[in-house]
Amino acid sequence: MKLSYTFLWCLQALTLTSAAVIENRSLASTILGEIESAASCAGCEAILDILKLLADLGNTAFVDTLTEICILSKADDADVCTGAVGLEGPIIAQDLRAMSVPSHTSQLFCITFFGLCPYPAVTPYTVPFPSPKPSTSRPAASGQAPIQVVHFSDIHVDQFYETGASYNCTKPICCRPYTSADAPGNNQYPAGPYGNTHCDAPVSLEESMYAAIKQIAPNAAFTLFTGDIVDHAVWLTNQTQNIKDINDAYTRMSGLPTVYGVVGNHESSPTNAFPPKALNNNAEQWVYDTLSQDWSQWIGSTSAAMADNFGAYSVINGNLRVISINTNLYYGGNYWLYEKTMETDPSGQFAWLVTELQAAETAGQRAYIIGHMPMGMGDAFRDASNYYGQIVHRYSATIAAEFFGHTHADQFQLAYSDYTAQNYSNALETVYICPSLTPTSGNPAFRVYSIDPVTYGVLDVVTYIANLSNPSYQTTGPVWTEYYSAKAAYGPLVTPPLTDPAAELTPAFWHNVTAVFETNDVAFQDYENRKSRGYFPISCTGTCQTQEICAIRGGEAQYNCAVITPGINFRKSDEIVERSQGVIEMGECEGSVLRPILARLAGKHGLLEDAVLKARAKYRKE
Ligand SMILES: *[C@@H]1O[C@H](CO)[C@@H](O)[C@H](O)[C@H]1NC(C)=O
Ligand SMILES: *[C@@H]1O[C@H](CO)[C@@H](O)[C@H](O)[C@H]1NC(C)=O
Ligand SMILES: *[C@@H]1O[C@H](CO)[C@@H](O)[C@H](O)[C@H]1NC(C)=O
Ligand SMILES: *[C@@H]1O[C@H](CO)[C@@H](O)[C@H](O)[C@H]1NC(C)=O
Ligand SMILES: *[C@@H]1O[C@H](CO)[C@@H](O)[C@H](O)[C@H]1NC(C)=O
Ligand SMILES: *[C@@H]1O[C@H](CO)[C@@H](O)[C@H](O)[C@H]1NC(C)=O
């Protein structure tokens, strides 16, 4: 999840307050008009020219000015403004200084920050492969007794969670004694000991899940953990605390069946900041050092050394190659990627992935790809998603399944060999997306897969939850129970029905499930409600339904029907949208929230102009 709205909001505020604007109020309304106009990229380019001027004054000027505007315009609490802008500002200032306007990079920047500009067409690139695609296809299920694999994700453990602290605070994430009014005993909204939907997971909830996993799947072959350990108080992160968070979480995981982890976007500080190798910037090397050390107990020293490079590794378990990739290298929220000319293969990870998959194919192994952000989501760069898709297509007979997290929702996606004529016979891969432990997006959850021990195909997906609404949840603690089995829920709905415990849930099967969603409204609504594990009921019909089914079939991001809505990133908090609508991905099912924010801002022109004038007088190097 990304939570850089404070920064984005301040950028927007700035657009109204540049010197040019101050000197000419009608230009302000022109820019305002451009922001409001979904069709125009020109407004955004005008905004970038202004922002570049400010970035040219230096990082300090950039950060101080935006921080001051953020505070004066009451975009957020002063400490959140200072922390968030201070962490993210220097990276964005560097992007802006190097940026040509207009360019591919500036268009993507406009989309990410302002929801403006049409998405640029994918830059054609043919991924090179060492050998042609063989004629082999997915092996048939073996019929042998299945093994179990556990999957959990997005634990977002808050080490500063306090029982009795207010869950109704003014910050993006609560249940901490930020102020004396939030402290235990001083507030009317005391948090219980086991978590709250306005807060990240307390350690008690994390430990409860690990205990449940050991009880429910004691003989699991291994565990997949698809990342995001650190809490959402992103304005307070620092290297020391993140290292402690990461080490503590992996220490508590010891005793679970062999854990294969990935790098989440929250593991770095600043959040989302993962410089690709070409930048020769080692500022976040400590993330890889920490993770590879923690992982080595399960993946061994050779794979751990591999992981220390840029967070990716492979490890062999039986006849399976588990390949863990660092998806932050393709994530729109990673501001290090907005280079003057964006790289085709940041850190060389695609070339590395091809080598790994080729080795698996040559050795007759099957492969799992695990990572944090699903590569078909709206916040994955479409270029990278296309190149990744070519790799998945080439090695589709070897890749048994893909496993991701990041969205916090219980869902899946499908990759196809032909997106223009999607059908069950050209569905290539299933992307299993695991719901989160953190309760911000619904009932805490984990999954247990039933796996073919020969082909490693997925035979069933069973999601377990701890029901937050259970009356005894905060007293006797979370009780983990089976929520649903994918085979039991969806198997009978397709033709022919798929109920044999030994049958694989193939991409063709999942495609047929999406076809059921088009005509069986009850089945589709059940799927939608399962995204939050029944916590935030949602009604998704009409365009929402069409877009959602398109998104499930959008294993390659340019085909996921994500709508770029102007100002979409200015919403106060991603979580608020999740709570009210049960949807998480950018651009799905929600309207623009830009208009009310602009209205709020309009009354504050004087304040903002003063702040910028002062900053310019202070920093301008004539
Ligand atoms: C103010 O901006 C408008 C629109 O860009 C322009 O037509 C006008 O000439 C400007 N006025 C001054 C005094 O610069
Ligand atoms: C938080 O407090 C405000 C008033 O202080 C109240 O209106 C609101 O309903 C509360 N929110 C929750 C989630 O309890
Ligand atoms: C890092 O963050 C933690 C938790 O917010 C804080 O207690 C600590 O003082 C911070 N350390 C530094 C060096 O800023
Ligand atoms: C699926 O689509 C492909 C084109 O990609 C087409 O050749 C094939 O006939 C279709 N199969 C079915 C069952 O519709
Ligand atoms: C998918 O549906 C088609 C009919 O549209 C059927 O022929 C095929 O067997 C189904 N495959 C699976 C795995 O459900
Ligand atoms: C959770 O518990 C509440 C209260 O008992 C119940 O109404 C709700 O249906 C349960 N949710 C799920 C997903 O089982």
Q: pLDDT for 415-440, tens place per residue?
A: 999 999 999 999 999 999 999 999 99
How far away, in angstroms, is 392 Cα from ligand 5 center? 22
Q: State which H helix or E strand residue 458 sits in.
A: strand 458-466
Residue 32, pLDDT > 60, answer: no
Cα distances from 556 to residues 129, 374, 403, in angstroms, run 19, 10, 15
Amino acid identity for residue 147 in this structure = I
SS3 347: helix
Residue 73 has pLDDT above 70, yes or no: no
Contact 383, 413 (CB under 8 A): no
- The residue nearest atom 10 of ligand 1, judged by CA position, is 24
Domain boundaries of the chain, sorted by first residue: 6-119+592-621, 147-161+200-559, 162-199
Determine phi and psi for 427, rounding to 5 degrees. -70, 125
User: Residue 68: what pLDDT?
Assistant: 75
Q: Which residues contact 420 (CB under 8 A, 6 or more apart)?
A: none
393 is in an annotated binding site: no
* pLDDT, tens digit, 9 for 90 and up, residues 450-505: 999 999 999 999 999 999 999 999 999 999 999 999 999 999 999 999 999 999 99
Helix 25-36 and helix 5-15, axial crossing angle in degrees, nearest 10: 140
Q: What is the distance in A from the centroid of ligand 3 to the CA of 574?
A: 25
* CA of 467, closest atom in ligand 6: 1
Point out the ligand nearest to the CA of residue 188. 2
Question: For a pocket test of ligand 5, which of 138, 424, 428, 504 has the largest count of ligand atoms closer than 8 A to its C-beta?
Answer: 424
Quote helix, strand, coil % in the chain, to nearest 5: 45, 15, 45
Closest atom of ligand 4 to 420 CA is: 5
| Percent of residues, the chain, with pLDDT higher than 70 | 83
What is the residue with the minimal CA distance to atom 4 of ligand 4?
421
469 Cβ contact list (under 8 Å, min separation 6): 535
pLDDT, position 63? 86
Q: What is the pTM of this model?
A: 0.89
Helix (H) or strand (E) holding 620, with range, is: none
Q: Which CATH architecture has domain 147-161+200-559?
A: 4-Layer Sandwich (3.60)
Is residue 156 a known part of a binding site? yes
Q: Is the separation of the CB atoms in 256 and 207 below 8 Å?
A: no
- The letter for the amino acid at 32 is L
> HSE of 279 in the Cβ direction (CA atoms, 13 Å)?
25
pLDDT of residue 84: 83
Residues 192-214 have pLDDT tens digits of 999 999 999 999 999 999 999 99
Tell me, using a 6 A CB cutoff, whether residue 189 lines ligand 2: yes
pLDDT digits (tens, 9 = 90+) for 113-171: 777 788 999 999 999 999 999 999 999 999 999 999 999 999 999 999 999 999 999 88
Quick check: CB of 9 below 6 Å from ligand 5? no
Q: What is the pLDDT of residues 390-415, one digit of tens each?
A: 999 999 999 999 999 999 999 999 99
Q: Is 408 annotated as a binding residue?
A: yes
Rg of the Cα atoms in the chain: 24
